Each structure stands twice: as structure tokens, then as C-alpha cells.
């Protein structure tokens, strides 16, 4: 039996969200897959009207720092985002693998149908100190995981925006030079 998760919505907090690919597989391991994820994230943000304050797309998981959407809650937004990404990327994988010889190993087709783990981590971010902490954590995670030597070398993150090095692949909903307190006050 699953433990009931308690989510705290409706308080105007930002949400630091982490979710993983199925069985932590590197399903976002290519630049093309990460680009597709970012494109879909922007589409979902525009449609559901939430503010994106930070993000990092890694090969096997994603970090987002976002506001609650205008009409729904972050759980519903993640459901839409994950479904759209899974459909787009699984369809590409199926087309690519259909030309290859496939041996029927037990469970292999079932695993191909999954893209994301079911649950996600959600932490309510209520202070400027926590905004800074979560942004630093997600950008440092790239170096800690040895994907790059410096976050500037990973274009699928919000690091460039906060370092004043221009925009990342998706527009952030905070202005360069704004401190974390101003970022929080603009999201509430």
C-alpha cells in the first residue's frame, strides 16, 4: 500500500520539484531529448500560466522551481508535462527501434511503455533564503554528478540567467540582478 503524500497548495509558495525518469534511466540522456523537454515545458507554462523561476534537466531527472499555476495545482501541471514529454519521446524511440531487430525479453515491452517514475518530490519554498538554496543546489547538482566541470557548460538549466550570462533555453520569470526576495514577492 502506498503512503499518502501530503502536498501543500494554495499558499502562494514557490515549489521546488524533482522527478525522475523510469527506474532512473537516462531517458533524457541526449541533447535532442532535453531540447524536446524544454520545448514542451515552455508550452505547458504558457498554457497553464505558472512562473518558472529555475530549472535543470539532467539525463535521468529534472529539477523545477515554479509557482502555483493560475487555475490548477502543481500536481496537475506535472501530470500534463510528464504525459506530453513521454508521448513525444516514447514515440520517437518506438520509430527508431522499429527498424532494429527486437528480441522479446520478459518485461522489455512493459518497460518501454514507461518514461517517468510515478511520484515526485515537492518542497514548498517560502523564503528568499530557500529560493537561493534551491537554485544553488540544482545548478551545483550538475557538477556534483560530474556532467560538467561548471554549470555554465550545461545549457539545459537556468544557471546562465542567474549568472547574468544571458537567457537559458527557456525564459525565466525573474529579472537578472533581482535578489531572491524580489523573485519570491513577484511569484505570490
Residues 92-111 have pLDDT tens digits of: 655 555 455 555 545 444 45
pLDDT in tens, 43-94: 999 999 999 999 999 999 999 999 998 888 899 999 999 999 999 999 865 5
pLDDT in tens, 133-182: 999 999 999 999 999 999 999 999 999 999 888 777 899 987 444 555 45
User: Which residues are CB-neighbours of 94 under 8 A, at least 6 positions away?
Assistant: 112
Q: Which of 72, 74, 56 is nearest to 64 (CA)?
A: 56
- State the Cα–Cα distance between residues 116 and 85, nearest whole angstrom: 9
Give, in order, the Cα–Cα distances in Å from 104 to each of 40, 43, 75, 179: 32, 36, 35, 54
Which DSSP symbol is given to 66? E
pLDDT at residue 91, rounded to an integer: 82
8 Å CB contact between 17 and 52: no
Q: Which of 158, 184, 187 is nearest to 170 (CA)?
A: 158
Task: State the DSSP H helix or E strand holding residue 125, giving kind and residue range, or none if neither.
Answer: strand 121-125
Cell of 135: 537554485
Give, in order, the Cα–Cα distances in Å from 183 to each of 102, 177, 180: 50, 10, 5
Q: Which of 155, 160, 154, 185 is nearest to 172 (CA)?
A: 160
Amino acid at each position: 500500500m502506498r503512503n499518502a503524500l501530503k502536498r501543500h497548495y494554495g499558499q502562494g509558495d514557490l515549489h521546488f520539484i524533482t522527478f525522475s525518469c523510469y527506474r532512473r534511466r537516462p531517458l533524457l540522456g541526449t541533447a535532442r531529448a532535453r531540447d524536446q523537454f524544454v520545448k514542451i515545458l515552455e508550452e505547458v507554462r504558457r498554457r497553464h500560466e505558472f512562473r518558472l523561476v529555475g530549472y535543470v534537466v539532467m539525463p535521468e531527472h529534472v529539477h523545477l522551481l515554479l509557482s502555483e499555476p493560475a487555475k490548477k495545482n502543481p500536481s496537475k501541471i506535472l501530470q500534463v508535462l510528464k504525459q506530453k514529454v513521454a508521448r513525444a519521446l516514447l514515440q520517437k524511440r518506438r520509430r527508431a527501434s522499429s527498424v532494429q531487430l527486437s528480441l522479446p525479453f520478459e518485461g522489455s515491452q512493459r518497460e518501454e511503455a514507461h518514461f517517468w517514475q510515478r511520484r515526485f518530490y515537492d518542497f514548498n519554498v517560502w523564503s528568499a533564503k530557500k529560493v537561493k538554496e534551491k537554485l544553488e543546489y540544482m545548478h551545483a547538482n550538475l557538477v556534483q554528478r560530474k556532467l560538467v566541470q561548471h554549470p555554465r557548460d550545461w545549457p539545459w538549466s537556468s544557471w546562465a540567467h542567474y549568472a547574468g550570462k544571458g537567457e537559458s533555453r527557456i525564459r525565466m520569470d525573474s529579472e537578472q540582478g533581482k535578489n531572491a526576495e524580489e523573485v519570491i514577492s513577484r511569484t505570490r
